[in-house]
Amino acid sequence: MSKYNQELHSNYQKAIQAFLNVYPGKTDKMSVLIDSYCRTCALYLWNTFGVDLSVCTDGINELYAEDKHKRAYTTTQVASALNKLAQKQYTLPVPEFFENIVAQDRIDGTNYSRKLASCLSLVFISFALIDGNVTAEEAKMITKLQSDLVACCDKSKITAYADTIDIAGFVDSDPVKPAAVAPVYKQSAPQKKAPADTKPKKQADSMAELNKLIGLSAAKQSINELRDFAKIQQARKNRGLPVSDISYHLVFTGNPGTGKTTVARLVAQIYKELGLVSKGHLVEASAKDLVAGYVGQTAIKTGEVINEALGGVLFIDEAYALVDTNGQGYGQEAIDTILKEMEDHRDDLAVIVAGYSEPMEEFIRSNPGLKSRFNRFVHFDDFAPEELFEIFQSLCKKNAYTTDEKAAEIIKEHLAALSKSAGDDFANARTVRNFFETVIAKQATRISGEKDPSTELLSTITEADVTWCTDADSKAESLEDVLSELTSWIGLEMVKEEIADLIHVVEHQQRRKAQGLRIPSMSLHLVFMGNPGTGKTTVARYIARLYKSLGLLSKGHLVETDRSGLVAGYVGQTAIKTQDIINEAMGGVLFIDEAYTLNGSGSNDYGQEAIDTLLKAMEDKRDDFVVIVAGYPELMDNFVHSNPGLESRFNRYIHFEDYSADEMLRIFKMSCDKNQYVLTEAAETAVKDYFATVSISTIANGRGARNLFEKVVTQQAKRIASMSESHADELSTITEDDIKHALARGDK
């Protein structure tokens, strides 16, 4: 087996297995389907660029994700496939298995399909490397294959995934051409010309893009001065004059959301255009990407990241996290490796370190090697209120929304108030983006009942969509307003009773306080115990608003997390990660799902570090911070009683019972009403009979009812599609057959 085929098989199997290992919907058939699709894509690429038949055959035989599904293809079989591809111009459709993953993502609110698309782009790049390089035309084809998959995700509004793979970055601008091979199975090979859209931007364009960014005047000035200095040094060099030996490594300081990553990406392009680096791509990393769990491996891990960044810029966010606080030396090992590589590759590598101002200054001062190489600081100021509003307007323009006059005034006032009272959780442009997404969600809810909404209605943000965000409006939500929702909940009788008891206690405490009487200390932290789908997250969000209306919390928002959001991969960083989540939740409720997973096992588990940080915050910030922990009853009980600190702070339990069959039917019918569907009498009976016979907990309670609704709507759409003509009542009617077909498909 050739070295290429060895690497092809190893890389392919690792990539696909990495996805299959985390995908909860994995079936034995799935790896076979992925293999089949990837073999088709490989032949599609190899045929287009005239790869020799024997090379194609050897390569195809190495594409199997699991050894038990290994296939042996003959030269004749591969030749037949290539001949078919050569007969006409084919476009590869999105495979059915991928569409099924997208459909399940849409139901579960996950993004495994986007992760698989990212994984496949790397696989496709490995196919292109069969002749030793990736050309611009090959990169264009790979981008098209991946774009079709991503478009499928976009169409179903699958949750975004930060894909950092730059396909164009793999293009070799001056490849060593392998020996020419005759294109056996097509009439002529296309000329490998770089398409127009892959040409690098002109320097003026990159600088113009930087200067068009909202705000950041100090940062822009620093980068412009650096650009001008580099140009003059290049001119001096061209005329044989001495040039200054300066460092192009940078320190970016500033708060979150101030545009540091965006500017770093532009700096990488500007450096490429100035001839300071050869590729101009950006590789983002943090401490967890550089530091391994034991001595000796950190240098390897850091070296791999640096190799990826060669020819471009390595961007290390919160770089001060590399400073060791526990004396184990792993962070220092990463720093030493970075310093050595910066020296060895000083002509084709730039490093930008970023983070909060004071910690970054301390970080640079902590090591003479850092201080000598990082002597140029670029500060990113917080956005002014008018700049925050400009960012909001730019998001509106980008997404084809407009704001009416009243809405614009309210948004300005809200963003100004946020800026004025900015705390540790304020994230500048990131906060504005989150606010924008909330506003358009409110707008969508307002117009969802319109049967045929106009373009103007679909694209206009009105006063009604943003009044919720004003201080006056948030104060106007009285206790009575919040309590009115209790009666609309289906089931949850024990939960309602517990909430009523909690309100009585709080109100009694407040009356005693008003009379100058002593009030006993009472914990507002809660333990939610119940099976999945019983409404724990919904009730947690309600509790946050309830506490706000009672004057117990200043904001009344909910921040959801789990173990992965709190625990880092090595000692010292978990406290930082947990504190970031706590800062975000301050003034509201932190909801920790499956909290018992913080009780890890072994000396290398850092869950206890998260628990300790939480307990300290619950004590220090007890007047404006509430924690709700949730999970299965027995496991939650064990978790709380495993630690005296937890036991003393969590003494109020709320139990969430499984829904009854009748309640499940009501939840299903509520989904129908909300989306303007009508059940026939026979269809309603079929749904009722199903819920009466199935174990409610095994289908995840309310989540199971909503999942069934999604499947039923899919079956109804398939039935209607087969009709030559359909009327409005038919489009809204769900029949018994729709129910039966949805149930027959099960989890398919």
Higher pLDDT, 324 or 204: 324
**Mean pLDDT confidence for 279-296:** 82
Q: Tell me, what's the pLDDT at 137?
A: 82
**Mean pLDDT confidence for 513-522:** 78
Q: Which amino acid is at 10?
A: S
**Mean pLDDT confidence for 527-555:** 90
Cα distance between residue 160 and residue 162, in whole Å: 7
Contacts of 523 (CB under 8 A, 6+ apart): 649, 650, 651, 652
Residue with tokens 């950006």: 282
At 524, give phi and psi (nearest 5°): -95, -5
Q: Tell me, what's the pLDDT at 574?
A: 83
Q: Tell me, what's the pLDDT at 329?
A: 57
Cα distance between residue 21 and residue 302, in whole Å: 25
Q: Tell me, what's the pLDDT at 526?
A: 94
Q: Tell me, what's the pLDDT at 474?
A: 45
Q: Mean pLDDT score of the chain, rounded to an integer?
A: 83
Q: Three-state DSSP class for 214?
A: coil
Residue 26: pLDDT band (50, 70, 90) is confident
Lowest mean pLDDT among 24-33, 529-538, 655-664: 24-33
pTM score, whole prediction: 0.42
**Mean pLDDT confidence for 391-410:** 91
pLDDT at residue 25 tops 60: yes
pLDDT at residue 87 tops 80: no
Lowest mean pLDDT among 483-492, 578-587, 629-638: 483-492
Residue 659: pLDDT band (50, 70, 90) is very high
Q: Tell me, what's the pLDDT at 294?
A: 62
Q: Tell me, what's the pLDDT at 178?
A: 34
Q: Tell me, what's the pLDDT at 561?
A: 93
pLDDT at residue 336 tops 80: yes
Q: Tell me, what's the pLDDT at 149?
A: 92
Lowest mean pLDDT among 22-36, 187-201, 212-226, 522-536: 187-201
**Mean pLDDT confidence for 480-485:** 79
**Mean pLDDT confidence for 717-731:** 79
365, with CB counted inside 10 A (0-12, 13-18, 19+), is exposed
pLDDT at residue 176 tops 50: no
Residue 83: pLDDT band (50, 70, 90) is confident
Cα distance between residue 404 and residue 707, in whole Å: 37
Contact 528, 630 (CB under 8 A): yes
Percent of the chain with pLDDT over 90: 28
pLDDT at residue 421 tops 80: no
- Tokens, residue 496: 């309602």
Q: How many CB atoms lie within 10 A of CB 85?
A: 18
Residue 422: pLDDT band (50, 70, 90) is low
Q: Tell me, what's the pLDDT at 423?
A: 59
pLDDT at residue 744 tops 70: yes
pLDDT at residue 567 tops 70: yes
**Mean pLDDT confidence for 457-470:** 85
Residue 693: pLDDT band (50, 70, 90) is very high
Cα distance between residue 341 and residue 349, in whole Å: 9
pLDDT at residue 309 tops 60: yes
pLDDT at residue 80 tops 50: yes
Q: What is the DSSP string of 672-718?
A: HHHTT-EE-HHHHHHHHHHHHHS-GGGGTHHHHHHHHHHHHHHHHHH
Residue 523: pLDDT band (50, 70, 90) is confident
